[in-house]
Structure 1
Amino acid sequence: MANTAPGASPPVVAYLRWLLLGWLLAAVCQMVTASTVLQPLSDGDKEAIAGYFVADADGFYGSLQETYHAVKALEILERSDVESQKICEAVVKSSSISVEDAFYVVKITEVLQCPQGAEVAKVVVPILQAGVVNANSLLELHYSVGALATIKGWSSNSAVHKDALSDVFTLLKELARPDGTWHYSKSDSESSVKAAGLFPPFSFPTTAIVLQLFWQSQNVCMIACIGSVKTAAIKLFGNLESHGQGVFYFSESKDETSQGGGALAATWAVLRGSAALAAVLPVNLKVEKEKVFGIANFLLRTGLALSPTEAFYQLDSLSVLEDYRPAVPIIVQPSSILSLNSNNNLEVAVTTVLGKPVPQVEVALVSAHHIGADSPPVWSSQNFNYIEDSGKYGCDFLSAISGLGKYKLRLEVKPKEHSSYTSGGLVTSSVTVVSAITVSNVQLAVLDSDSGIPDFSAVLDFEKQEKTSLSANHLQKLHLSFELTSPSGSSFKPQQVFLKLVHETHVEHLYLVKSSGKGFELTLDFLGLVEKLQYLSGTYSVVLIVGDETMENSFVWTLASLDLDLPEAPEGTALPPTVPVEVNARFAPKPEIAHIFRQPEKRPPILLSNVFLGLTLLPLIGFFVGLRYLGANIKLFPTTGLLGVAAFSFHGAIASILLLYFLFWLKLDLFTTLKVLGFLALLTLLPGHSILSYLADLSTKQKTS
């Protein structure tokens, strides 16, 4: 973020360069060398971290600080889903902002490379210039001076009056403490180790930037300030803490500047400040490469961040290490498993902490020991070749090893000329060499108990997974023998070799098969096993189990079905354990029952049915014709008053009952029909009684008259 100093440097600038270099070397020498195998940030980790940063409708990620953290982190992750245009247009319109906000506006503009840089400078330069003059804290000075240095190339009006230089260095001197701690501000009564941890990004770069902005002015206060800064810088690295296993970090419980992060924030501050100092001074800071690896160890062993702020600290720290001029830590990852059958060479992936391939190194295998075997190293040195297609380094390791098993490797990574990579010293790792094992001479026999002569014998083929049938009684023995051979032709002894007898009631018995010379043998004397077999006669499955971590073809092989006849159990003998209930078999879905209904009877053609329907309607027609010939009339049908209502209701109810019968014939069931019929019967009863009474009275009157 800083520019190089002018070519004709004044004496004060040259003095500061060498003095600051001496401080850093003295501080780093207090670290402890760490050598370990690390895992770089994986693609899954990057996706998880990217999930912390979600933009709103305006393209922002919260406040200006949060937005800067987001766009910087997503830039490191090489994500293209940042709405740069929206954010750039919004930050240009920012007005009435504080020095802190102005700093983040400038940093967002720098990260997104917004074309509106000159417009941003017009808005924020007056605010930042006033911030330098009025700065009363370490943060205010960092924000104002750091932002002015960033926009120096955008605007010619970013300079600050040289009279402010004396006040700046006076403030730095007042904030520094002799014991290596720092105050955050003049009003802060307590000094803080974390402020010292944050000292490099807030003071080393600040001091260097001030020199770049005002280097024409030489001030005695500057020299005095540098003296106090030297003491603080040396004591600062004395506060470096270790967590063991080559992990180093800075920590402080007081947290006034980082908004969370703890040791992660303090360590980020040291890295960012050291990188800024290395960029300002055109001198190679000769930091011991192994020391930087301890910081990388801490960042990668921290795990995934728990907040967007911590995610930014972790990613930005790792990105600093990607191009850290004194020493770039790299991760060496050898293959963990090799197979003799597939002719795999030993491959080593060399990446940066963010997982980018590193082709500019030389990888050598210093030694390889077979773990668990008293054997000398496989070789003293073997160089790896870079494989363009995979981006890894490989060598023919399998041709030099003595057999299967786990090998302990010691790898050395040497940077090529003019490169500054470091893997933290010799890398210790392990690789397991596996292969398919040959299974041969598998013999299963039933022997006579007295003579030992086989009553039955079978040779089984492992490749075909053959199975045989046997029968035996308690006066006989079961004998098993087989051989296991490694690809080199030597006898192979796996970690697990068992023979299992499984009774038809699921009672199991397990027996260890021991090696005998070149092969493995086991003899089961059923006479001595009747009690252990719990006098259970019946069918047993004979199962051979062979397994080892170096076997590609570990197996469980059912050799035979054994029909075993054992004597009856004496009185008082404990019964075999109850067969365990298989819950899945008991409560699993039952087979579907397919029910076949009786086939419907054959029906007559539709035409014939319609003709029959017509014939059934003929009597109804005859009824109406008969009424005509009998002289039936409706002259006495009342049409007015209550009698008219009763007459119409009565005949309507009769018609409804007839309709109900018709519906019953079509679709209604008997119970529904009876319910409706009961209701219609009540409707028929009352009007029917009225109209019939009227007709009876009328008939009586006609007869008397």
Structure 2
Amino acid sequence: MSMICRTLITGILVGVVFGQLTCATQLSSVISNDDGLRLIQYFKAPFSNLETAFYSLSGLKHYTQGGALGQAEKESACKLVKSCETKSLTSLYYGASVLGHLRSFCKHEFSKETVEFVKGKLNENASVKNIHAIVSILKNLGQEVDDDQVLSALLNALKSDNSILSSSIALLTVAKLSNPNLASILKSIDIEDMAAQADEVDERFLHFENNLEITSTFLSAVVEVSNVAKQPLAISKNQVILFTNFLLRSKTAASTVKEAYLLLSTLGRITSSTQFRLAKVAVVSGTSISEHKSAIQISVSNVFSQPLTKLSVIAESIIRASDNEVIVSNVPFKFDGQKTYNFMFWKKKPKSGFYDVTLAISSTGTQLFGVSDFEFRVKVTSTITVANLEIGTAEREQTGATLNSVSYPSKMEDMRADNQQKIIMQFQVKNIVDDSLVLPHQAFVRFFKEDSNQEIIFVAEPDDKSTYKFEVELASAGREQFNSVPGKYFLQLIVGDATISNPIFWEIGAVTLNLGEDAKKAKPSFEQQYLPKPEIHHVFRQPEERPPVVVSQAFTVACLLPIALLFILWIRVGANVSDLRLAPKNIMFHIGLAGIFILYYFCWLSLDMFVTIQYLCGIGVVTFIFGNLVLSDLANNR
């Protein structure tokens, strides 16, 4: 059964693999309840210092969208505020910000000297970060801020540092002012140009230098500027989604209180924005529709997994994938009052198969990002049964046959057949709900011999009346498929499809086959085919026999004869060594020359070509240098 199971499962999986076919950019994820609980663990009291208290209270406020703080957190933070270092601008920034979160709970006031110290830091030499701290401190302490002075200082500071981070902090600073002059600051800061400098990854994420602080600060600034100016965002909605996807990707990597704050504070600003709503759509009902699961249910939530209500959700179209027929057009989903929007698709009595759903989701008065033209695929499944099954045998040349009916899921009486007959079977597959005929993609007839694990599988094909028919002539099939192995075979019917909720495996009964006397050895079973085979040992070709010793010696003498001939010819031409000078260069030249001949001998005897070349390079260089000196000396003496 292993092969047919794999075939059936593969077919089902191919049909089941469907998902969202979204064309527009979508949120990759959201902050789930578990994600939120893990992140706010970094914000638990007691706090070790003012910086941690600031990140914790700010992160909690953004996550709860202004909700109340815990008693332990307020007490721990208030204690730290009272010990704030008043001569440190950074410490005062954290302390004043914490005091702003605690409001009437923490009875503490900073002295006039401290306020004057802070105001004195606002000058033309102040950095963007310090200007932001000064404005935050004065605002949290209820002090007036000179907007023109702040704007002038910011523009001057941006001349020396106009990085993405500094420019973003400058925008956040201006957004804090009572009468923010955004037009002036935006002449020096081009938000679109800043966004164009971001790095894109796989068309799914946008970020600056893969840095959470820079990216989150930039996105926070863009949202704040939009809220203050009450104008659409300066970047596209796709860019907003891609930047947010980068932040959401960081939710599992955040491991410090600052990283958790950066993530939740930016997402909190996005959630509370008055100019747009960022949402994610999920098909909560799954993508399988049946009589027991009759509705398509979707949820629309913000980045903190909170459901968005009072939306318009319309099924623009539901199209059957097999023939592109439009089943539903412009039908609204109904909100259940809690978190899901529902459409009772089963009431449309759809046929089993796959359907492509296109939704139009909108929000009155506010732009909705991340949900436009949301598309996904659902499958309608049916419960089936086998009906009108008839089976029997007939002579090979006979056109008609007497067939016996068998009701699903009972068994027939045992049958017998020989190689002069053929087995005939026909059946129909019906939908239990409406009794209509269906045509599953997989319909197999399987013969299984239990004692040898032999299986033979045939495909049943439907005719124009949606009746599946199967016929096998045992004369040819007995040799080719059954391998001429007689005996008792179990006859089984297998029906399945990706849109069928109850695939059928029905053992109809047993058939005893007599396939002749010349039975061949049965083919190995599926398991036996993959047993280890005998190990293969490679045998190298045996070397040829060496020649007799006499032949080898004769060739050796033949090789030495040229040397003897060389000396004879030297004597004939009058060569002598009496004029050989024993100068070092002469000696080295002849030693090198002799070394080359000796090297050739060892190459023939034992060395390979690569080792010989290595030695030859060294000996050859020496021989060349001293040989050149010897020849030059001879030429000069002449």
Normalising by the smaller structure, the TM-score range is 0.5 to 0.7
Q: How far apart in 1 are the matches of 2:498 and 2:110?
A: 64
Q: How far apart in 1 are the matches of 2:526 and 2:300?
A: 58
State the partner residue of 1:637: none
State the partner residue of 2:534: none
State the partner residue of 1:99: 89
Gaps of 5+ in 1: 1-32, 153-157, 184-190, 216-221, 254-260, 584-705
Residues 170, 515 of structure 1: CA spacing in aligned structure 2 closer, same or farther, 3 A cutoff? same
Kept in 2: contact 1:444–1:458 (CA 8 A): yes
Amino acid at match of 2:482: L
Kept in 2: contact 1:240–1:248 (CA 8 A): no
Q: Secondary structure at the match of 1:270?
A: helix
Q: How far apart in 2 are the matches of 1:472 and 1:534?
A: 16
Q: Secondary structure at the match of 2:94?
A: helix
| TM alignment of 1:134-533, pairs within 5 A | 136-152=126-142, 158-159=143-144, 166=149, 168-176=150-158, 183=161, 192=163, 194-195=164-165, 199-200=167-168, 202-210=169-177, 226=184, 229-230=187-188, 232-233=190-191, 235-239=193-197, 242-243=200-201, 247=204, 249=206, 251-253=207-209, 262=211, 264-279=212-227, 281=228, 283-287=229-233, 291-292=236-237, 294-300=239-245, 302-303=248-249, 304-308=251-255, 309-334=258-283, 335-342=285-292, 344-375=294-325, 377-388=326-337, 390-400=338-348, 402-416=350-364, 418-451=365-398, 454=401, 457-462=404-409, 466=411, 469-486=414-431, 487=433, 490-504=436-450, 505-517=452-464, 518-531=466-479, 532-533=481-482
Q: Decide which moves more: 529-538 or 426-435.
A: 529-538
Residues 506, 313 of structure 1: CA spacing in aligned structure 2 closer, same or farther, 3 A cutoff? farther
State the partner residue of 1:555: 504
User: In the TM superposition, what whole-angstrom CA distance separates every residue of 1:610-636 from its partner, at most 9, and x where no partner exists?
Assistant: xxxxxxxxxxxxxxxxxxxxxxxxxxx
Kept in 1: contact 2:198–2:208 (CA 8 A): no
Q: How far apart in 2 are the matches of 1:578 and 1:427?
A: 47
Kept in 2: contact 1:349–1:357 (CA 8 A): yes
Q: How far apart in 2 are the matches of 1:362 and 1:533?
A: 63
Kept in 2: contact 1:496–1:548 (CA 8 A): yes
Q: How far apart in 2 are the matches of 1:244 and 1:519?
A: 50
Kept in 1: contact 2:392–2:423 (CA 8 A): yes
Q: Secondary structure at the match of 1:563?
A: strand
Gaps of 5+ in 2: 1-21, 532-638
How many residue pairs get matched? 497
Kept in 2: contact 1:36–1:428 (CA 8 A): no
Kept in 2: contact 1:536–1:566 (CA 8 A): yes
State the partner residue of 2:550: none
Kept in 1: contact 2:446–2:456 (CA 8 A): yes
User: In the TM superposition, what whole-angstrom CA distance separates every residue of 1:529-585 from its partner, at most 9, and x where no partner exists?
Assistant: 2343233333333232222222122232222233334335557x57534855999xx
User: In the TM superposition, what whole-angstrom CA distance separates every residue of 1:624-676 from its partner, at most 9, and x where no partner exists?
Assistant: xxxxxxxxxxxxxxxxxxxxxxxxxxxxxxxxxxxxxxxxxxxxxxxxxxxxx
Of structures 1 and 2, the larger Rg is shown by: 1
The offset of 1:475, in angstroms, is: 3.2
The offset of 1:397, in angstroms, is: 3.2
Q: Secondary structure at the match of 2:308?
A: coil
The offset of 1:459, in angstroms, is: 0.9
Q: Secondary structure at the match of 2:171?
A: helix
Kept in 1: contact 2:288–2:381 (CA 8 A): yes
Kept in 1: contact 2:63–2:265 (CA 8 A): no
Q: How far apart in 1 are the matches of 2:417 and 2:50?
A: 85
Q: How far apart in 2 are the matches of 1:506 and 1:127?
A: 92
Q: Secondary structure at the match of 2:506?
A: strand
| TM alignment of 1:604-615, pairs within 5 A | none
The offset of 1:143, in angstroms, is: 2.4
Kept in 2: contact 1:291–1:424 (CA 8 A): no
Q: How far apart in 2 are the matches of 1:560 and 1:74?
A: 69
Q: How far apart in 2 are the matches of 1:125 and 1:379?
A: 67
Q: Secondary structure at the match of 1:87?
A: helix
State the partner residue of 1:41: 30
State the partner residue of 2:38: 51
Kept in 2: contact 1:458–1:468 (CA 8 A): no
CA RMSD in angstroms comes to 4.1
Residues 159, 510 of structure 1: CA spacing in aligned structure 2 closer, same or farther, 3 A cutoff? same
Kept in 2: contact 1:329–1:421 (CA 8 A): yes
Residues 383, 276 of structure 1: CA spacing in aligned structure 2 closer, same or farther, 3 A cutoff? same
Amino acid at match of 2:390: Q
Q: Secondary structure at the match of 2:327?
A: coil
Identity of aligned residues (%): 16
Amino acid at match of 1:149: K
Q: Secondary structure at the match of 2:108?
A: helix
Q: How far apart in 1 are the matches of 2:491 and 2:148?
A: 91
Residues 459, 132 of structure 1: CA spacing in aligned structure 2 closer, same or farther, 3 A cutoff? same
Q: How far apart in 1 are the matches of 2:491 and 2:110?
A: 83
Residues 562, 319 of structure 1: CA spacing in aligned structure 2 closer, same or farther, 3 A cutoff? farther
Q: Secondary structure at the match of 1:381?
A: strand
The offset of 1:96, in angstroms, is: 2.9
Residues 131, 553 of structure 1: CA spacing in aligned structure 2 closer, same or farther, 3 A cutoff? farther
Amino acid at match of 2:388: N
Q: Secondary structure at the match of 1:369?
A: strand
The offset of 1:271, in angstroms, is: 2.8
Residues 265, 570 of structure 1: CA spacing in aligned structure 2 closer, same or farther, 3 A cutoff? same
Kept in 1: contact 2:216–2:266 (CA 8 A): yes
Kept in 1: contact 2:356–2:376 (CA 8 A): yes
Q: How far apart in 2 are the matches of 1:401 and 1:121?
A: 76
User: In the TM superposition, what whole-angstrom CA distance separates every residue of 1:105-141 from its partner, at most 9, and x where no partner exists?
Assistant: 4444555667116357899756644554596322222
Kept in 2: contact 1:34–1:424 (CA 8 A): no
Q: How far apart in 2 are the matches of 1:430 and 1:48?
A: 28
State the partner residue of 2:5: none
Kept in 2: contact 1:49–1:305 (CA 8 A): no
Q: Secondary structure at the match of 1:529?
A: helix
